[in-house]
Chain A
Amino acid sequence: MHYVLAVSDDEEDIAFLDQAFRTQPGNIPVTCMNKGLKLWDFICNLSAHKFPFLIIIDHYLSDIDSLALLTRLKADHQCSLVPVAMMSGFASEQMIHEYYRAGANCFYKKPLDISDWTHMADCLLTLFHNRS
């Protein structure tokens, strides 16, 4: 399916993400969740052909550890090949390594303004949506 699924409980991040992808060629829609468990429920109720082409998870989630959510997604046989991008405003090198060991496809620093968010969306689409 032609959409991105994202989870963050930061309303500003959600707004930036939505705008950054919707302004890309193809007007990529973003389905946003504000809780990690909502995203998990959403995935569990999807049929395989309706999966997003990219999932974005904020490092800090209020209801579930983001590493645990990533691990669940990568252990799910239907969802395991959907690329997962982790984002954070801060993380240690050790944490980044843990995300990669758990199967994160990438880990990036949360952009600061809409221009940087749009650039990051463009880069993610180039790498994970075969656009170059």
Chain B
Amino acid sequence: MTDCLIWVVDDDADDIYLIEQGFRECSFKIRTFSPPDVTELIPALEKTYSKDLPQVILLDINMPKVSGKELLGWIRADLRFRHIPVVMFTTSTSRNDKIECMQLGANCFLTKPNSYQSMVKVCSSLATVFCTPEFSQS
């Protein structure tokens, strides 16, 4: 079975660590990658273009240099990357944030869980729904 590549775009190293740990507990074989500089997301995607694109991108919203909404807009405006599912993974519980992100083309809007158990459940659900590697190779 081919492994599933998930990009985690977040400026908080602790959150990235927790999310990666959550995916490690899944039954799927998952690789995670976090661009060291979130402003370099598009160049990083361009660098991997057609070789090893992620099967889903998790995007934080509130980041200091560039917001997740801006990054989402850039991804959806680029024909090369428009097909990549983007899940907003944020501390925000704002209904307006959710509506705005869904209008911008997010596939899903999730508030970061406040327990590790819930984080594992969310990561497992993301992997089950978005990572079907043997399927996508057909």
Judged by a CB distance under 8 angstroms, whether B82 is at the interface is yes
- The reply to whether A100 and B82 form a contact with Cβ atoms under 8 Å apart is yes
What 0/1 pattern do residues 82 to 103 of A give for CB contact below 8 A with B?
A: 0101000011110011101101
**Interface residue tally on B, bucketed by range:** 20 to 34
Query: What A residues does B125 contact at CB under 8 A?
Result: 122-124, 126-127, 132
Q: Which one, B105, B118, B124, B138, contacts A123 given CB within 8 A?
A: B124
A96 to B110, CA, bound (A): 22
Residue A108 CB within 8 A of the other chain: yes
Task: Report the separation of the CA atoms of residues A127 and B99 in the bound assembly, to the nearest whole angstrom.
Answer: 15
For B108, give its contact among A91, A103, A128 (CB under 8 Å): A128
CB interface residues, B 124-138, toward A, < 8 Å: 124-126, 128-130, 132, 135-138
Q: Are B118 and A109 in contact (CB under 8 A)?
A: no
A47 at the interface (CB under 8 A from B): no
Q: Is the CB of B138 within 8 A of A93?
A: yes
Cβ < 8 Å to B, chain A residues 51-95: 80-81, 83, 85, 90-93
Count: A-B pairs, CB below 8 Å: 68
Alpha-carbon distance A41/B110, docked complex (angstroms): 31
Residue contact B83 to A81, C-beta cutoff 8 Å: no
Identify the 5 closest CB pairs spanning chains A and B, nearest first: A97-B83, A123-B125, A126-B125, A100-B83, A123-B128
30 A-B residue pairs with Cβ-Cβ distance under 8 Å, sorted by A, are A83-B108, A85-B129, A91-B138, A93-B136, A93-B137, A93-B138, A96-B135, A96-B136, A97-B83, A100-B85, A104-B107, A105-B108, A106-B108, A106-B129, A106-B130, A108-B132, A109-B132, A109-B135, A119-B128, A123-B125, A127-B87, A127-B122, A127-B126, A128-B108, A130-B110, A130-B111, A132-B110, A132-B113, A132-B121, A132-B125
| Residues of chain A contacted by B107 (CB below 8 angstroms) | 100, 104-106
Residue A120 interfacial (CB < 8 Å): yes
CB distance from A92 to the nearest CB of B (A): 6
| Closest B residue, CB atoms, query A103 | B105
Q: Please state if B138 and A127 are interface contacts (CB–CB under 8 Å).
A: no
